[in-house]
Chain A
Amino acid sequence: MTALLLNILIQGVLLGGLYALFAIGLALSVGVVRLVNIAHGDLIVLASFGLLWLTQYAGLPLWAAFLALVPVMSGLGYGLQQGLLRRVADKGLLPPLLVTFGISIIIQNGLLEAFGADTRSFASGALQTASWRLTEGVYVGALPLLTLAVAVCLIFAIDRLIYASHFGARLRAVSEGPATASLIGLPVDRVYGLALALVGATISIAALFLGLRMNFDPLSGPARLIVAFEVIVLGGLGNLWGILAGGILLGVAQSVGGAVDAPLQVLAGHLVFLFLILLRPQGLFRKN
């Protein structure tokens, strides 16, 4: 019995690593640019399809495809800010949300046209099935563990970037006071653009592990957005490590739900999320 519970817990924590990866980009986007990007999940899926195209049709090995994709997604993020979002930033609450909503639908249907509705995933060979046995009946998969490790490293790296670098100081400045920032001559739009470029890079990482660990299809973006959203609301936006905590909480909730009855997995996550909003809408972590 304890083995079962331990397994559920471990799987939940490991799943949390993947969910944290989904959420990092959204957290940056919300925290710095103040944008809840409705197309966030779709961008992850887009990147996954990009990796798919590069590996299947262009014949690149996965690592090379990933390296090629990062600058593309970063450029896409930068272009999204400078090309579109900048123009609607001062028009109020709704326009940026509606623009990203439109982009979400465009991406989904564009992918449907280009790739069809089948679900896809990446093969990773031995890594996919490798696992360690902790004790009787309790296993830790290599790939999920790697995912969690990558999430931790990425959060650490971004935390250092934001709090210990000059670029990070600029990010924090425009996040805290965009009006003041322009008054003192900071190129606010360019800083936003670079922030979204960083988001694009994190999306590439999330896409890699999405494809390795789960299936994806053109319409699976919104589900990823909702996961990312739940993670950052659960963790609160004050602290980057809250993303990890939120991810793990969601992962464990889903893991428990899934153990009770497979279709309950996603629902369990939603219910925990809604329950927490009721109790503590500001999330688990207070601001730094």
Chain B
Amino acid sequence: MEASAFPISGEEQALEKRPKDKRPRGPLDGGSKWARWALRYSVLFYLAALLIIPVIMIFIRTFEDGFIESFEAVTSEAGLHALKLTIITVLIAVPINTVFGVLTAIVLVRQKFRGKAFLNALIDIPFAISPVVIGLALILLYGPRDGFVGEWFFENGIQIIFSTPGIVLACIFVSLPFVVREVVPVLREIGDEQEQAATTLGAGPWQTFWRVTLPSIRWGVTYGVVLSTARVLGEFGAVSVVSGRISGQTETLPLFVRKQFEVFNQGGGYAAAMVLAALALLTLLLMNLINKKEERV
């Protein structure tokens, strides 16, 4: 399945290819000025009402109840623990997904074998199913009481569900496709001539990977890493199910945000949401920078 959920990279450079003034005007571009304006401002209104103003409102709400007071929730013990757990989860889940993602992409593009189409479809499943179902799947497998293999782990003193390993597993599951889907098209595009040349010259598979393949896919990998990080930072549904949502123990930042709203500490909820929104804006900035970098290469 070629259609990636994130066909982002690439369209911007095409936008800039032609100089503004010499842009050829098709019959649909000129014509009625009014029609064009009507379309432009309906689109801008739609985006403003659905996306832009709501996001700005989070920042306004945080400051409305007094920034210091609102921010106290974030710097409380539970808040800081949530932040720490979120960062730990990112630091474990994202590298694992990056290594296996690159390997999966290479196998999918460079190898031919029976069942490849099935494997390919399997990778997209985390995009297509509800995060709650992902959480349920992990509970049914690793749950201490009724999980298929959970009892064994439990008897051997390893707790997965309602603990950090479960949260990490959930995050790996939901962000599994990103690196694969960003690297596959790049690998296809560069072809395997250079890799074959390296092999002919006597390089081993490991050397070929480090010296030939990795340098040419690095921006694809980086883009996938940024998307995975954003997803893991914000994962809510799957983590809600597997974590047990124990404050100060298994609560990640998104769960902490919800908790604040449930205990009617809205200011604190908005402040914690603002932290996540700021991280998302940073992600967006990185995505744009990487797109620009890819353009130059």
Chain A partners chain B: no
B residues near A, CB below 8 A? Answer: none
Residues of A bordering B, CB below 8 Å: none
